[in-house]
């Protein structure tokens, strides 16, 4: 998907604290936030973010893969069952991408897809000739568990100190 911040209408714009304002965009199901100093034009911040947004967007799947060990440690029962399922849908998604004011690294907000279908197909260990597999439900984990992943460069990431659990 081609991401163009400068020619896309704002979804929202507001002050997030006494010194910083934020622009909000939506591309598909994903939100993009660009912060800028309060009481200044948002255009320079959008121009700076535009230089990186396509690379950051295209790196999203790598950010999800980077965050997966955090989720695996929190929800081992889900991931053990998920690993045994036949071609399951991946449960994690990038909910938003943020560009902080100043020179901060862009970051991803990653959580379980709230529309994730926990039904899957697994192999029957007792019937190796079975073609279809057995329908099963994966263990639940909440979509309120989320992690921020800082993008340091092309396919280079760091977990933020901020992670949220229910």
Beta bridge partners of 65: none
Domain definitions of the chain by residue range: 12-164
Lowest-confidence pick of 13-17, 39-43, 130-134, 142-146: 130-134
Query: 148 and 130 in contact (C-beta within 8 Å)?
Result: no
Give the pLDDT of residue 119.
Answer: 84
pLDDT of 122 over the 90 cut: no
Phi/psi of residue 43, nearest 5 degrees = -60, -50
Q: What is the mean pLDDT of residues 35-55?
A: 95
pLDDT for the residue 128: 58
**Do 96 and 129 touch, CB atoms closer than 8 A?**
no
Q: Which residues contact 137 (CB under 8 A, 6 or more apart)?
A: 118, 119, 120
pTM: 0.88
pLDDT level of residue 85 (50, 70, 90 thresholds)? confident
Question: What percent of the chain clears pLDDT 90, i.e. is strictly above it?
Answer: 70
The pLDDT assigned to 54 comes to: 96
**Average pLDDT of 118-144?**
75
Decide if pLDDT at 165 tops 60.
no
How buried is residue 27: exposed, middle or buried, by Cβ count under 10 Å (0-12/13-18/19+)? middle
What average pLDDT does the structure give for the chain?
90
Of 6, 5, 7, 52, nearest to 31 by C-alpha is 5
Residue 88 confidence class, pLDDT cut points 50, 70, 90: confident
Joined together, the tokens standing for residue 85 give: 């399922």
Q: pLDDT (tens digit, 9 = 90+) per residue, 133-152?
A: 677 888 998 888 999 999 99
Look at 5 and 136; give whichever has higher pLDDT: 5
pLDDT at 89: 86
């Amino acid at each position: 998907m081609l991401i163009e911040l400068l020619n896309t209408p704002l979804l929202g714009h507001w002050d997030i604290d006494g010194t910083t304002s934020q622009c909000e965009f939506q591309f598909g199901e994903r939100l993009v936030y660009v912060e800028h100093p309060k009481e200044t034009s948002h255009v320079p911040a959008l121009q700076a973010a535009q230089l990186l947004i396509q690379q950051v967007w295209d790196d999203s799947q790598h950010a999800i893969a980077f965050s997966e060990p955090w989720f695996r440690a929190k929800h081992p029962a889900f991931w053990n069952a998920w690993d045994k399922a036949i071609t399951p849908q991946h449960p994690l998604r990038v909910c938003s991408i943020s560009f902080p004011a100043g020179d901060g690294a862009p970051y991803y907000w990653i959580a379980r897809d709230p529309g994730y279908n926990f039904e899957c197909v697994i192999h029957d260990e007792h019937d190796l000739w079975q073609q279809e597999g057995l329908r099963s439900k994966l263990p639940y984990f909440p979509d309120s568990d989320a992690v921020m992943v800082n993008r340091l460069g092309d396919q280079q990431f760091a977990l933020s100190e901020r992670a949220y659990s229910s």
